[in-house]
Amino acid sequence: MERLEYLKKELKHITLVNRGSPFPLYDTEYVELVEQQIINIMDKTKIDYDDEPVVSCKHCKSLFIKVDEDDNNLCMKCGSINEVIGHKDIFDYKNKYNK
């Protein structure tokens, strides 16, 4: 559960930064959203997100893929459309591209 641990560390960091500054640097609604909705939901569901399949761009190998309203896969790095490669999980992607 790397992602859940990362979110917990991030929440701890932004909470400490907000406490130590004269005014909140991070939006308090964002902090609340991360704490109550995202982390609590992930804790309850116990889904291992590291085992979820991922897609990367066929050309630049980026994972920054968004799906538009017409269900097109858009690479936000190089701009290619519907040219993605599916991977079994994030570790398969990392092993394949040595990232």
Distance of CA 47 to the CA centre of its chain: 14
DSSP string, 75-99: ETTT--BS-EEEESSHHHHHHHHT-
Both tokens of 65, joined, read 């893929």
**Residue of higher predicted confidence among 97 and 48:** 97
DSSP string, 10-48: HHHHHHHHHHHSSS-SS-HHHHHIIIIIIIHHHHHH---
Predicted local distance difference test score (pLDDT) of residue 60: 94
Section 43-67 average pLDDT: 87
21-31 pLDDT, tens digit per residue, is: 898 888 888 88
By the 8 A CB rule, do 10 and 35 touch? no
